[in-house]
Amino acid sequence: MRKTCMIVGLLLLSAGGAKAQDYPKVETAPAFMYVHTEPIFGSSDGLNCVGGGGTLAYNFTKYIGVAADMGGCKILNNTNGFGVSNTVSGNEFNYLFGPRITYRSKSKFQPFGEVNFGGTRVKVSCNSGTPCAGDSASKNAFAMTAGGGFEIKLNKKFTLRPVQAEYLYTRFGNNCLLMACTQNNNQNSFRLKSGVVINWGGSAK
């Protein structure tokens, strides 16, 4: 009788463990990234940045996890408000970390939301043939994102992430090396990501 109870107990523990693993423990997600920053002093159209990045996430439960988010993009030529076209180009790199909530059910559709904190680094330079040709500057600043998206589960290993849309806040402050930043403490941007998710661990389904 005692041996039977022990076997039943082990089976229940195994079943509970299998149920708890009905989600990926680790997710890696390479993605395309687009960032648009609102017009700042001296800019008529704002800044557009196009590139890619990736996310490494660990799930504590079926719904709650944490993610490390990194991505880099190239700042497209910017037209400023002084009549000098295609003056500024450069690159931006985000490094962020924070909690994520994902709603997982029997449906293949999986919405999620997250908030991330970290930093960003921007390097800009003046293009040749312009009055400021040869000048460049780089700076690190605090960054935060808030937003979410949805995923479509293809199978155990792969998930499609069509849309991840976020508000990106940065604070370069008035001590920015470029004149265009001197009247712009805070920068408000929109970040869009799209890609695939590679799942590791979880159930056999």
- Percent of the chain topping pLDDT 90: 50
**In the chain, what are the domains?**
24-200 (2.40.160.20)
Question: How does residue 134 score in pLDDT terms, banded at 50, 70 and 90?
Answer: low
Question: How does residue 148 score in pLDDT terms, banded at 50, 70 and 90?
Answer: very high
Integer Cα distance of 30 and 55 in angstroms: 7
Tens of pLDDT along 154-177?
A: 998 999 999 999 999 998 765 555
Q: Which residue has the higher pLDDT, 42 or 122?
A: 122
Find, among 165, 187, 167, the residue nearest to 176 by Cα.
187
Tens of pLDDT along 19-42?
A: 546 789 999 999 999 998 876 655
pLDDT at residue 185 is higher than 70: yes
Q: Which residue has the higher pLDDT, 45 or 59?
A: 59
pLDDT of residue 85: 47
When computed from its CA atoms, the radius of gyration of the chain, rounded to whole angstroms, is 22
Average pLDDT over residues 93-106: 94
Q: Cβ distance 180 to 143 under 8 Å? A: no
Number of Cβ within a 10 Å radius of residue 127:
16
Q: Cβ distance 136 to 86 under 8 Å? A: no
pLDDT of residue 133: 58
Find, among 49, 50, 57, the residue nearest to 28 by Cα.
57
Q: What is the DSSP letter of 42?
A: T
